[in-house]
């Protein structure tokens, strides 16, 4: 059995320790799956406990990435009637600008009143780092409560507060007693974990500890959907099974978060995001996690719906919906496959999400010879093999020859794309997209992460690909008139990981 998640401590265990997460690797998808040994790890053989150790490539430098605090910013900062206080220098709050835009767009897509994020920073200065800033944090909490009247206050740590050992827990406890609302410290210093996904876990850990109701009234028709800020595709899907949706964490209210424990089951659009909270809800609150492949492509969506039907005792409704949707989408998917014949695609996204998108592309007949994932979790928190997303991909849709794990290192992307020379790129984190454009490769920035979910998602993704391929000439023109920002020596390298394998080359 996998180790039970510990909610008695304030700090979440990072992914490297809990799951064996890595951020650099190169090979085939099947090789990575074999080395990950999901089944052994899921039975309790985690890192150092009988499960294999993945051989991680460690480069001599990092060109750019994201940190755990930024993920807290986009999760806790997007709870509608709460406030996030970043106990940090003001530079750590730079992400508030794009996340405010994402928040407003998300609210509009979901039909909520549009507003700005409730996210502030304590603006730590040099003196604060020398003498401490607990009083500054207290004042910020007082100001936030006076200004917003929130139902909860989240406090995010930063590298600066971690270095000086700021005692946020004591301040949070003091202010929680004063105001009678949850004041939740989140340990998310950028150096705490080598991958930003630990920031997702930090927010979920705090919510589980201090917001989720103990001993709630159960709602047999309510399904928790752990997601980001995408369009509402789960409500119409699950309505066919007479189920209601509780979207968390982004765009949720504090009351939505509190009722997580009253739901009949929990699902997610991506195991990278949902693994921790879904497992903890089952272990501590008795809310079953739907253990099935993610709902992408026919195979995954069929299995996902059948497992929901089984857990919620709606098997007949699930089968009826599956049959009707297969019949509905088949003609259009056949048309799309004909139009996409001979097209090569590439996927560059988060880990489990990339596995899912490759499945949908192959449903459409698109050739996928390569993919970049920003990290790799050898196992997820439930340990159940039905959630082995990489294994599901290789078993049902075949291998991926050039499967790369790289923590958003743009200098490596050039080599990855040269290996497979795709016609288009699917990407979620748009910082890599301009390089693809310079190579004449159009990119579909998947701002709505729900675009490929379910049966309609196969059609949605296919039509999006046709749209970006229609602009191929524009990207070819860009390629003709630009110069890449790399020396010829690097452009001539065949191994994008040569600096990881031979760091001495940096000195040469």
User: In this predicted structure, what is the pLDDT of residue 46?
Assistant: 55
DSSP letter, residue 356: H
The three-state DSSP-derived secondary structure of 76-145 is HHHCCCEEEEECCCHHHHCCHHHHHHHHHHHHHHHCCCCCCCCEEECCCCHHHHHHCCHHHHHHHHHHHH
Instruction: Kindly indicate the confidence band of residue 73, based on its pLDDT and cuts at 50, 70 and 90.
Output: very high
In whole angstroms, what is the distance from residue 339 CA to residue 337 CA?
A: 5
Sheet holding 367-373, edge to edge: 24-27, 402-406, 367-373, 344-349, 424-427, 443-445
Report helix, strand or coil for 479.
helix
Q: Give how far Cα 441 sits from Cα of 319, 339, 400, 437, Å.
A: 40, 18, 20, 5
Taking 60 as the threshold, does the pLDDT of residue 48 lie above it? no
The continuous run of DSSP H or E covering 489 comes out as helix 488-491
Task: Enumerate the domain spans of the chain.
Answer: 68-189
Q: Give how far Cα 232 sits from Cα of 110, 164, 219, 236, 335, Å.
A: 6, 42, 21, 8, 26
Question: DSSP per residue over 390-437, as a string?
Answer: HHHHHHHH---SEEEEESS-HHHHHHHHHHH--SEEEESSGGGHHHHH
CA dihedral 92, 191, 205, 135 (to 10 degrees): -50
Q: Which two tokens stand for residue 375?
A: 């990290």
Q: Give how far Cα 169 sits from Cα of 147, 186, 381, 496, Å.
A: 22, 9, 26, 43
Phi and psi at residue 158, to the nearest 5°? -150, 175
Of the candidates 187, 124, 177, 176, which has an alpha carbon nearest to the alpha carbon of residue 153? 176
Task: Kindly report which listed range (32-46, 110-124, 138-152) carries the lowest average pLDDT score.
Answer: 32-46
In whole angstroms, what is the distance from residue 148 CA to residue 82 CA?
A: 8
Taking 60 as the threshold, does the pLDDT of residue 94 lie above it? yes
In whole angstroms, what is the distance from residue 134 CA to residue 247 CA?
A: 34
Of the candidates 222, 292, 229, 283, which has an alpha carbon nearest to the alpha carbon of residue 258? 222
User: In this predicted structure, what is the pLDDT of residue 52?
Assistant: 52
Strands 402-406 and 24-27: antiparallel
Taking 90 as the threshold, does the pLDDT of residue 191 lie above it? no
Q: Are 499 and 415 in contact (CB under 8 A)?
A: no
In whole angstroms, what is the distance from residue 243 CA to residue 304 CA?
A: 14
User: In this predicted structure, what is the pLDDT of residue 51?
Assistant: 47
Strands 152-156 and 183-186: parallel
Taking 60 as the threshold, does the pLDDT of residue 175 lie above it? yes
Instruction: Kindly indicate the confidence band of residue 7, based on its pLDDT and cuts at 50, 70 and 90.
Output: very high
The continuous run of DSSP H or E covering 464 comes out as helix 454-469
Phi and psi at residue 363, to the nearest 5°? -60, -30
Helices (DSSP H) in 180-314: which residue ranges? Answer: 197-210, 234-239, 254-258, 271-285, 297-311
* Mean pLDDT computed over every residue of the chain: 93
Dump pLDDT digits (tens) for 355-401: 999 999 999 999 999 999 999 999 999 999 999 999 999 999 999 99
Say yes or no: domain 68-189 is CATH 3.40.50.1980.
yes
Q: Which two tokens stand for residue 290?
A: 């739907």
Report helix, strand or coil for 336.
helix
In whole angstroms, what is the distance from residue 156 CA to residue 168 CA?
A: 9
Instruction: Kindly indicate the confidence band of residue 62, based on its pLDDT and cuts at 50, 70 and 90.
Output: confident
Cβ-based neighbours of 465, under 8 Å, separated by 6 or more:
340, 343, 345, 364, 366, 424, 444
More confident residue, 503 or 264: 264
Q: Are 107 and 113 in contact (CB under 8 A)?
A: yes
Dump pLDDT digits (tens) for 32-45: 999 999 888 877 65
Taking 70 as the threshold, does the pLDDT of residue 173 lie above it? yes
In whole angstroms, what is the distance from residue 280 CA to residue 3 CA?
A: 11
């Amino acid at each position: 059995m996998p180790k039970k998640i510990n909610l008695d401590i304030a700090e979440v265990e990072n992914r490297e320790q809990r799951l064996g997460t890595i951020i650099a690797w190169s090979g085939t998808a099947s090789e990575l799956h074999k080395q990950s040994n999901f089944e052994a790890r899921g039975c309790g053989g985690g890192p150092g406990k009988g499960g294999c150790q993945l051989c991680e490539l460690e480069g001599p430098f990092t060109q750019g990435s994201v940190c755990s605090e930024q993920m807290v910013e986009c999760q806790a900062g997007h709870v509608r009637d709460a406030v996030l206080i970043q106990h940090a220098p003001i530079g750590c709050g730079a992400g508030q600008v794009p996340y405010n835009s994402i928040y407003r767009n998300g609210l509009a897509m979901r039909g909520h009143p549009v507003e700005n994020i409730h996210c502030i920073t304590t603006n730590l200065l040099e003196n604060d780092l020398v003498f401490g800033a607990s009083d500054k944090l207290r004042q910020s909490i007082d100001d936030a409560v006076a200004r917003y009247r929130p139902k909860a206050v989240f406090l995010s740590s930063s590298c600066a507060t971690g270095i000086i050992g700021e005692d946020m827990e004591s301040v949070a406890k003091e202010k929680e007693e004063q105001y009678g609302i949850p004041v939740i410290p989140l340990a998310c210093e950028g150096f705490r974990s080598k991958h930003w996904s630990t920031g997702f876990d930090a927010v979920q850990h705090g919510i589980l500890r201090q917001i989720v109701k103990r001993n709630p009234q159960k709602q047999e028709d309510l399904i928790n959907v752990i997601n980001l800020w995408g369009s509402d595709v789960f409500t119409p899907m699950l309505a066919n099974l007479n189920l209601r949706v509780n979207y968390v964490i982004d765009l949720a209210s504090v009351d939505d978060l509190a009722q997580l424990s009253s739901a009949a089951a929990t699902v997610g659009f991506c195991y990278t995001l949902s693994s921790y909270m879904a497992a903890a809800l089952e272990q501590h609150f008795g809310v079953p996690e739907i253990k099935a492949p993610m709902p992408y492509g026919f195979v995954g969506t069929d299995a996902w719906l059948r497992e929901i039907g089984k857990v919620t005792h709606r098997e007949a409704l699930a089968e009826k919906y599956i049959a009707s949707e297969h019949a509905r989408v088949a003609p259009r998917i056949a048309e799309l496959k004909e139009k996409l014949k001979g097209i090569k695609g590439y996927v560059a996204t988060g880990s489990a999400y990339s596995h899912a998108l490759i499945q949908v592309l192959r449903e459409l007949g698109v050739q996928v010879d390569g993919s970049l994932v920003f990290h790799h979790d050898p196992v997820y928190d439930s340990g159940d093999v039905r959630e082995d997303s990489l294994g599901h991909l290789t078993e049902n849709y075949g291998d991926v020859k050039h499967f790369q794990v790289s923590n958003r290192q743009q200098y490596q992307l050039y080599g990855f794309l040269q290996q497979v020379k795709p016609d288009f790129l699917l990407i979620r984190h748009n910082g890599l997209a301009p390089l693809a454009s310079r190579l004449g490769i159009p990119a579909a920035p998947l701002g709505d992460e729900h675009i490929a979910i379910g049966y309609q998602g196969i059609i949605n993704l296919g039509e999006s690909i046709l749209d970006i391929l229609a602009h191929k000439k524009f990207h070819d023109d860009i390629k003709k008139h630009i110069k890449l920002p790399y020396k010829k020596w690097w452009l001539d390298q065949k191994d994008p990981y040569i600096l990881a394998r031979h760091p001495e080359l940096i000195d040469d």
